[in-house]
Amino acid sequence: MTFLGTSAGVPTRQRNVSGLALGVDHHRDWYLVDAGEGTQHQLLRSGHSLARLRAIFISHVHGDHCYGLPGIIASANMSGRKTPLTICAPDGIEQYVNAVRKYTDLHTLRYPLHFVRSDHCAAEQALVYQDENVSVSAHALSHRVPSFAYRFEELPASALDHSKLEALAVPRGPLWGQLQQGQVVTLADGRKINPQQVIQPAWKARRVIVGGDNDQPELLLNALKNVDLLIHEATFTDDILQHVGPQYMHSTASMVAKIAERAGTPYLALTHFSQRYRNCGRDDKRQVEELRREAAQHFNGSIILAKDFDHYEIDRTGQLKIVHDKEETKNGG
């Protein structure tokens, strides 16, 4: 996971608006969640290629989450992309993209765009996207416009369970290979062995939820089951929310932390910070560290305060760590 933008509403000198790149291990293919203005410029520093972008997931129609989408589509076209691109988004995004294409002379694309309505899929409890690496579902949130979280679940490689094979007395050799390839085999004694009896995931699937803007984190409680990491907006601390009022419909750090604790989520990444919070600076300015301190009062797991270009990975044991090797970022996710 590479954070491309972690500011709320407008960019700051230190933070761009919302964008997150995700990949699986060191596969070059990757996925994008939200595309605020300037996201394609941020991508130039991340090492991700638009040619290998598999799908884009837009949480909602507010500009700090989608104004960068037309530029990404146009740049991919100019760079010669030919493979289809899926865009999962609520109502309004397809119309927005089509209007930009119409009025900015981007009529002809060298590659197909495939739109999937995340609001329809969430209502029908259907997947918005699946390929050989991940399956993705959409979950409705609470905001001034329809907003959605996306739950990414890895589809790990499969492996033969040797103990089950031995318990079933399947002899080593060609039969093992046939089972690994998904074929039903017949033993010498006439028993039929189905691949589902002896194949298991090679490692535990990793799961991440990326939330859009939302003032009711409790809406994600069911989706958080067995999730390794929740990435969620924490626009304010509680005292600032009391000052500005609830009309913006955003979460505070404590609101998100309480739900992550209830769900038993081991890792929590806070992002989408109001521009009033600074990474560092004068003592009279609000500090982003205040959000961590507030969250830590309610959450016993590990807390990340997202920064632009921070690159994290969840390894196959479920441990989250920051990756400092830039070459690793260029080669993977």
**Active-site residue numbers?**
64
- Cα(77)–Cα(287) distance, integer angstroms: 41
> What value, to the nearest 5°, has the Cα angle with vertex 280 and ends 326 and 298?
90
Q: What are φ and ψ of residue 139, in 5° steps?
A: -135, 125
